[in-house]
Structure 1
Amino acid sequence: MWKQAVEWLAAAATDPQECKREWDHGTGTALVEAGRYWDVLSVPDRLGLLALDILWRDPLKTPGPTLVDSAVRRVGFFLPPDPVSEWIGFGVRHVGRGSWVAVPPPYRPAGRLEWLVPPDGTGALHTPGTLESALREATGTLAVLAPVSAEHVGADRW
């Protein structure tokens, strides 16, 4: 499985062989081009982790590739390339054609980058409609929790 996943992910790099060398003998991460095989929807980590939990609810469907960057506290969902969609929301970034994404190999984390759901090599990605629904539900949950968190922070001051 990993070999197929490595080949699929490295195919998005300018030089797939150099990409694989960088994973194995370099920094452990490689830059791969977005917009050709996939785009990435990058969201704040609390929103992304909650949305991913929602996506896992369906036991018959595995979510698409999902990457976390613990240093910048963001989660990236890999979805089909679509230059016309507008993803709107606080802290939401759509990474598409003309952009590059740093990724670790699918078989291990590298520093701050780790696959929460590694690519499986089949080309399976998040379905935009399903991802949007999960993000909307997660946003609603976070909105309900925000006042509770604010009250707790205020209580700590006294």
Structure 2
Amino acid sequence: MAGSGAMTAVEWLASVAPDPGACRRAWERDPLGVTLLPAGVRWDVLIVPGELGYPSLDVLSRLIDRPGPVLADFGESRMGFFVPPGTAARWIGTGVRGAGRGTWIVVPRPGRTGGRVRWLVPPDGAGTLTDPALLELAMHEAAALRAGDIGDGPA
């Protein structure tokens, strides 16, 4: 992201920091850096194994024009889908962890493309989040497709 769109996303993310100004300044000094931000204020994060997360993101991207922000970790073994606050407390799913109120997540500056944590779908600055019901639907479809691929192998 470049220009005012990136700054809007920076402002949106930094707004939950204990000191938003310090968060913005840290990212300005080191655009490749990361910061810890509290979940449960403007968003929760559902952390999904990469082998389910990537196909789920593919399905989700076919269902809607733009999902909410999505992070990938180093090695892309896990992905984090930004969902409305309160979702993590209600989510039940094998292998899915929730980061909600009282937890902190590592967040790179919007526009960052490399490093240990990167944006697969950067925040738009408008507060767009992924609808948990659509994410669940996408995860079920992705799991079914994955199971079908496994079942189509040699007997």
User: Where on the TM-score scale, by shorter chain, does this alignment land: which range?
Assistant: 0.7 to 0.9
Q: Retained in 1: the 8 A contact 2:89–2:100?
A: no
Distance 1:96 1:39 in 2: 5
Q: Which has the larger radius of gyration?
A: 1
Worse-superposed segment, 138-147 or 119-128? 138-147
Contact in 2 for aligned 1:80/1:125 (Cα 8 Å): yes
SS in 2 for 1:56: helix
Alignment-mate amino acid for residue 34 of structure 2: T
Q: Which residue of 2 aligns with 1:15?
A: 19
State which of 122, 139, 152 in structure 2 corresponds to 1:135. 139
CA RMSD of aligned residues (A): 1.9
Corresponding residue to 1:46 among 41, 48, 51: 51
Normalised by the length of structure 2, the TM-score is: 0.86
* Contact in 2 for aligned 1:103/1:113 (Cα 8 Å): yes
What does 1:7-156 align with in structure 2 at a 5 Å threshold?
7-26=11-30, 28-58=33-63, 61-71=65-75, 73-82=77-86, 84-89=89-94, 91-147=95-151
Residues 80 and 126 in structure 1, CA contact (< 8 A), matched pair in contact too: yes
Counterpart residue number, 1:156: none
Structure 1 residue 72 displacement after superposition: 6.1
How far does the alpha carbon of each residue in 1:103-151 deviate from its partner, in whole angstroms, 9 at most, with x for none?
Answer: 10111135111111100010110001101100111111222233567x6
Instruction: State the TM-score, normalized to the length of structure 1.
Output: 0.85
Where has structure 1 moved over 4 Å in runs of 4 or more? none
Can you give the 5+ residue segments of structure 1 that lack an aligned partner in the other structure?
Answer: 152-158
- Which letter maps to 1:135? M
- The structural deviation recorded for 1:65 is 0.5
Contact 1:104 1:110 in 2 (8 A): no
SS at match of 1:2: helix
Do the aligned residues in 2 keep the contact of 1:29 with 1:110 (CA within 8 Å)?
A: no
Gaps of 5+ in 2: none
Counterpart amino acid of residue 93 in structure 2: I
Figure out how many residues of one structure are paired with residues of the other and give that number. Answer: 148
- What one-letter code is carried by the residue in structure 1 that aligns with 2:61? W
Give identity over the alignment, percent: 46
2:41 matched to 1:4? Answer: no
Task: Read off the aligned partner of 2:82 and give its amino acid letter.
Answer: F
Q: Quick one: distance in 2 between partners of 1:146 and 1:40?
A: 29
